[in-house]
Structure 1
């Protein structure tokens, strides 16, 4: 398969600098990520962002921030600007995770500003979208996810859409009590996202990843689905060996499809 399959993780609010450096050190010997088959990525907390960028600089891994403000500078205490994210050496910024939406009141208008600011700074937005259990039960999963995509990506050109990553993360599948979506259900939602993209972007569309209780048991099935372009892993990849193990399983599953 010519297109790299994305495999990565966000550490959320975990890892000291020493723990982050040890994780990165273990990745230096992860040959599974060499070559064009897989694209690995790590999204550490801000306290470790510059260090992780430095430690993984000579590796195939991309590094991202977990959030940012849309303004280039200003009186926004506690926030980090797109320019600061890029200055750390990061190339990706995660936007719109359901925890940011729920606990910090981020909305789709905010996310649209952040997406544009990230693209203007040369960063790759990793836009997280997903429905709640209630929205799924009411049959509104597709409508919810497509609304989030349309609003956050409004005004983005077809050329810039190719630079965007979308992570479908159903809210009911996230966390230690999350229930993973079946590979078939996840693939259906990914297909809905792809079909809803503007017609002029479909030749070079955004990559759509699945996130939500990805683990060693389900990663192969998810990676075998035609509409899933990568996996955004949580706690199963918070140890380097866990990320490497999932990457190996993913590659085996995808090669079996050839």
Structure 2
């Protein structure tokens, strides 16, 4: 059975509760997310996490958190535990986004702890990896990304790899000034990642999503690539209609 193609977005530090509710209403009513060949997901800020989980509970759309601590409880002011994420109803947790690495000092050792904590709590870690423009220019793009993956997944049992998602997000492609990777380059990197990492218990390579200035103009070409298992969209999907549009285009490109 072919693996569903993943299409989703993180809202980052955006949306009030009212805006989150309206967004959820629109995507809950969109027929595209009922298609078995597509797995939709959305990752709201913590303030809206429980509400969005409730609003989308009756749909196939999965909901995730943008980060978490590796401890289940303790004196960690401002942090959110895996237990709290699961208690909200979320099933995914985004880990290791380049903004977390750059602005909040997260490293691969931290991410390894978080990946294990997510799996122990029954959550699906969505591990973000990617090289900087400098690393790419020096010819170390694949080595950098594979090192990030291997360190974050160190000690993870083969049976748990079924629940791991990788998001390849080149740092130079992210943000309002980002330049999206070509479909060919993204597909090459996805192939390198999948070849370097262990297969899951079904003998299939890990699912790797592409993120980095995904938009309506490039989503179809990216979705048609053989090694790309999904799209992790930024600002082009911050409006619900944008997410629906890209999901429809992406699924159409894969048929």
Q: TM-score range by the shorter chain?
A: over 0.9
Residue number in structure 2 paired with 1:162: 162
Q: TM-score, normalised by structure 1?
A: 0.97
Structure 1 residue 35: Cα displacement: 2.8
Query: Matches of 1:193 and 1:133 in 2, distance apart?
Result: 18
Residue number in structure 1 paired with 2:106: 106
Query: Matches of 1:228 and 1:252 in 2, distance apart?
Result: 15
Unaligned runs of at least 5 residues, structure 1 = none
Deviations 1:186-208 (A, max 9, x none): 00000000110126757133210
Which contiguous aligned blocks of 4+ residues in structure 1 show a shift greater than 3 angstroms? 199-202
Residue number in structure 2 paired with 1:79: 79
Residue number in structure 2 paired with 1:198: 198
Residue number in structure 1 paired with 2:177: 177
CA RMSD of aligned residues (A): 1.1
Map residues 39-78 of structure 1 onto 2, 5 A cutoff.
Answer: 39-78=39-78
Query: Matches of 2:197 and 2:189 in 1, distance apart?
Result: 13
Residue number in structure 1 paired with 2:249: 249
Alignment length, in residue pairs? 255
Structure 1 residue 241: Cα displacement: 0.3
Greater shift in the superposed pair: 28-37 or 179-188: 28-37
Residue number in structure 1 paired with 2:214: 214
Residue number in structure 2 paired with 1:23: 23
Q: TM-score, normalised by structure 2?
A: 0.98
Is this contact kept in 2: 1:72–1:82, CA < 8 A? yes
Deviations 1:38-61 (A, max 9, x none): 000000000000000000000110
Query: Matches of 1:72 and 1:31 in 2, distance apart?
Result: 37
Unaligned runs of at least 5 residues, structure 2 = none
Go from structure 1 to structure 2 and tell me whether the alpha carbon gap of 1:199 and 1:235 turns closer, same or farther (over 3 Å shift): closer
Query: Matches of 1:50 and 1:43 in 2, distance apart?
Result: 11
Secondary structure, aligned partner of 2:54? helix
Query: Matches of 1:201 and 1:184 in 2, distance apart?
Result: 28
